[in-house]
Amino acid sequence: MNGIAALFEQLPLPEIARIVRRTVWAGIVVGAVALGVSASLGRVLVGVGGCIGLALGLANIRLISRSAAKLSAGAGSHRTRVLASNTLVRLAATTAIIVGLAFASVQVGLGAACGIAVFYFVYLASLLRSLLQQVKGIVS
């Protein structure tokens, strides 16, 4: 976990906001495509679930950003523990939502699980792009 924190410390704050913004727009595009493809295949609920998963991923990223901003602004000796416990609570809540959706409708639950996975792949790709641009700027 400390390695990831050190990685994010290398990025300026505006770049982190740009990463999230790129991820949000890419998520909107992916959600629209998922709805279109699933509707054409006659499985609209999978597309709806995918959009729910994308929204869950976005909400999680927003909560992480807000939590990190609060912790960095405040003085406390147990910041890592608080951040880890908040992350565990968000992970449990997200899992419970997806499992609940799967019990309500298998198609929606499957779509939501795939949607949140796709969101994090898009987020990771955006992060890697920014990191590679940072490294390219340092090397040049």
pLDDT in tens, 28-69: 999 999 999 999 999 999 999 999 999 999 898 888 777 777
Q: Is residue 16 part of a domain?
A: no
Burial class (CB in 10 A: 0-12, 13-18, 19+), 101: buried
- Cα–Cα distance measured from residue 11 to residue 6, given in angstroms and rounded to the nearest whole number: 9
Q: Is residue 140 part of a domain?
A: no
| DSSP 3-state of 32 | helix
Of residues 140 and 100, more confidently modeled: 100
Q: Is residue 29 part of a domain?
A: no
Q: Is residue 1 part of a domain?
A: no
Q: Is residue 6 part of a domain?
A: no
Q: Are 47 and 38 in contact (CB under 8 A)?
A: yes
Q: Is residue 9 part of a domain?
A: no
- Cα–Cα distance measured from residue 32 to residue 39, given in angstroms and rounded to the nearest whole number: 11
* C-alpha to C-alpha distances, 106 to 8, 36, 92, 119, 120, nearest whole angstrom: 37, 19, 19, 20, 21
Q: Is residue 89 part of a domain?
A: yes
Q: Is residue 101 part of a domain?
A: yes
The letter for the amino acid at 2 is N
| DSSP 3-state of 66 | helix
Domain that holds residue 119: 43-63+78-134
Q: Are 68 and 86 in contact (CB under 8 A)?
A: no
Please count the structural domains in the chain. Answer: 1
- 8 confidence band (pLDDT: 50, 70, 90): low
| DSSP 3-state of 140 | coil
Q: Are 126 and 26 in contact (CB under 8 A)?
A: yes
- How high does pLDDT run on average in the chain? 83
